[in-house]
Amino acid sequence: MTNQTKTQQFKNLLLSDQLEFICEAHNGLSAKIVEEAGFKGIWGSGLTISAQFGVRDNNEASWTQVLDNLEFMSDATQIPILLDGDTGYGNFNNMQRLIRKLEQRHIAAVCIEDKLFPKTNSFLKGDAQPMADMDEFCGKIKAGKDAQTDDDFCIIARVEAFICGWGLAEALRRAEAYHQAGADGILIHSALAIPDEILAFKREWGNRSPVVIVPTKYYSTPTEIFRQSGFSMVIWANHLLRSAVTTMQKTAQTLMENQHLLAIEDRIAPVSEVFRLQGAAELQEAEKRYLPQNAENMAAIVLAASRGDELGELTEDKPKTMVPIQGMPILSHIVDAYNAVGVKNITVVRGYKKEAVTLPNLTYADNDDFASTGELDSLLKALRTKKGTFQDTIISYGDVLFNQYIPQTLFHAPEDFVISVDSQWEGRTSYSRLGGFAECTTPNSRKAFHSKVYLTKLGHDVTEGSIHGVWMGFLKVSSKACEQLQEILEHLLADPANRKAGMSELFQELLRRNHSIRVLYTVGHWLDINSLEDVVQAGEF
């Protein structure tokens, strides 16, 4: 990182006593790629910017379209851009407006060439192209220098004498006139396959001002020759666009022929690389800072695959989660509680009588092996439906009713793994299904309220004196940790011995792997439906 302005950076490059290199870019993404490769400057090529728009290098793209494109390039990068400004898009007056607009977009420099608007690329019948009147072109340079407000902004005058079929004398005559008019450097162009013209020019020109070259046609010349000759800057003028063209043609042809993606997937940048280049991570960070907490980044997974035998005939034709409480299935109450805190993305794992679980606007993950598998298997099936894109997620049960306060506080805690523990466990009757008792770093107390409490043990084997509460069946996992969670589950369930493993086995594994599990103490606000009596009681919940 430098704290120099882009114009200062470019001027330093132009005046440095080393040979410097800048590379072509034609949009924001390619500009970023140039910068990441380590280049200290970017050539905003007229040829490649036109080409990526699908038009000719004949001023078919308007100058404001070029300007808009440059704005993306400049915004995406910290290094200076030298714009290939063709002929300045008009006369001295247009040139002045161009300079002002470039400065507003932090473009560091512009190069203009002594031909007529609309120009034609130098490699297309160059010697048939008319040159600009030299005095008129000098006026344009002067007007440009007068228009700039930043002293470091550079104007490079490009001499097309060789291109247009003139000799060294004409090239030098023009270069000198442009130098006198105030140009900060000369770009001497040649379409020969050998560097003779530009070397002859440089010998005669000496060090009157920096000289820039574009060795597209004399590409086989060793760079050392340019260095020894004292050139200031080399422009690699079109090579990113050309490499993109080759790759895109190959990919398009392969896709057309194969009708599948196998042959190309590992030869092209992954989507994650595109996201990285776009700066997706930065936005995610910013979202944490600026979006209302818990807005879009929240999801819930409801484990509801089991029948709930204890409810007898109530669950003959439907799973427990669909048993009505006050005229509404338990699952509807759960969905309402999640919706109330803004959670729309709810995945329900169905198993027993899955066809009876049909509430709208939910994502369903089916565990058809519900009879022979456990909670972790269901949870993994739910996580797999996310295909690697996770939100902060609360995992809960399809037979636990709760107040919205529970998800609210869980989502609010920033830790990767957070659970709710009810410290008033002694009065409750049934915890058998709920993963059991929790031993924590601190019991629920005033002290616990002011400090962070973590789980140390969870299960039915916590000794009576160490019980600090009962786990209520809620686990919040941060979006970041969901991926880890999925890996852990894949690992655990690869062992057939874990087919029936439940949430308490997951907690043991997390603790074994030294993950911290934050505990939020609660008193009440939830109800697990484990008996007919609970169903009746739930009516008043």
Residue 10 vs 397, nearer CB to ligand SPV: 10
CB of 189 to ligand SPV, least distance (A): 6
**Choosing among Mg ion, ligand SPV, none, which partner's interface includes residue 505 (Cβ < 5 to 8 Å by kind)?**
none
Amino acid letter for position 436:
G
What secondary structure letter does DSSP report for 520? E
Residue 160 interacts with Mg ion (CB under 5 A): yes or no = no
Q: Which of residues 50-89 bind Mg ion (CB under 5 A)?
A: 84
* Separation of alpha carbons 447 and 136, rounded Å: 83
Provide the minimum distance between the beta carbon of 390 and Mg ion in the complex, in angstroms, as a whole number: 47
In this chain, which stretch among 17-25, 46-54, 61-69, 394-402 interacts with Mg ion, using CB under 5 A?
Answer: 46-54
Name the binder of 122 from Mg ion, ligand SPV, none, CB < 5-8 A by kind: ligand SPV
Closest contact distance (angstroms) between CB of 126 and ligand SPV is: 9
Residue 213 belongs to what H/E stretch?
strand 211-213
Q: Minimum CB separation from ligand SPV for residue 180, in Å? A: 24
Q: Which is nearer to ligand SPV, 113 or 422 (CB)?
A: 113
Cβ neighbours for 465, distance < 8 A, ≥ 6 positions apart? none
**Contacts with 418 (C-beta within 8 Å, 6 or more apart), sequence order:** 410, 475, 476, 517, 518, 519, 520
Contact 302, 522 (CB under 8 A): no
Which of Mg ion, ligand SPV, none does residue 237 bind (CB under 5 to 8 Å by kind)?
Answer: ligand SPV
In whole angstroms, the minimum distance from the beta carbon of 122 to ligand SPV comes to 4
Q: Report the partner that residue 238 touches, choosing among Mg ion, ligand SPV, none (CB closer than 5 to 8 A by kind).
A: ligand SPV
Q: Which is nearer to ligand SPV, 9 or 45 (CB)?
A: 45
Return the one option of Mg ion, ligand SPV, none that residue 209 interacts with (CB less than 5 to 8 A, by type).
none
Return the half-sphere exposure (C-beta side, CA atoms, 13 A cut-off) of residue 296.
6
Q: At closest approach, how far in Å is the CB of 191 from Mg ion?
A: 13
Closest distance of CB 187 from Mg ion, Å: 10
Nearer to ligand SPV among residue 161 and residue 453 (C-beta): 161
Interior/surface letters 43-70, b for 16+ CB within 10 angstroms, e for the rest: bbbbbbbbbbeeeebebebebeebbebb
Q: Which one of the spans 47-55, 417-425, 447-455, 481-489 is the region binding Mg ion (CB under 5 A)?
A: 47-55
Residue 306 interacting partner from Mg ion, ligand SPV, none (CB closer than 5 to 8 Å by kind)? none
Amino acid present at 69: N
In the bound state with ligand SPV, the residue whose beta carbon lies nearer, of 122 and 373, is 122
Burial of 511 by CB count in 10 Å (0-12 exposed, 13-18 middle, 19+ buried)? middle
Cβ atoms of 43 and 235 closer than 8 Å: yes
Which region, judged by CB under 5 A, interacts with Mg ion, from 2-10, 42-50, 103-111, 488-496? 42-50
Ramachandran quadrant class, 74 (left: phi over 0; alpha: psi -120 to 50; beta: rest)? alpha
DSSP H or E segment with residue 533: helix 532-538
Contacted by 51, from Mg ion, ligand SPV, none: CB < 5 to 8 Å by type: none
Smaller CB separation from ligand SPV, 121 or 315: 121
| Cβ-contact 84, 111 below 8 angstroms | yes
Binding footprint of ligand SPV on the chain (CB under 6 A)? 45-47, 84, 121-122, 214, 216, 237-238
Range list of H helices, 346-469: 375-384, 405-412, 446-450
Q: How many residues of this chain interact with Mg ion, rule: CB under 5 A? A: 3
112: part of which helix (H) or strand (E)? strand 109-113
Residue 46 binds Mg ion, judged by CB under 5 A:
yes
Phi, psi values for residue 388, rounded to 5°: 85, -5
Smallest distance, Mg ion to C-beta of residue 56, A: 11
Q: Please name the residues in contact with 226: beta carbons below 8 A apart, sequence gap of 6 or more.
A: 19, 195, 213, 215, 234
Nearer to ligand SPV, 121 or 396 (CB): 121
Q: Which does 214 bind (CB under 5 to 8 A by kind): Mg ion, ligand SPV, none?
A: ligand SPV
Nearer Cβ to Mg ion (85/210): 85
Residues with active-site annotation: 57
Contact footprint for Mg ion (CB under 5 A): 46-47, 84
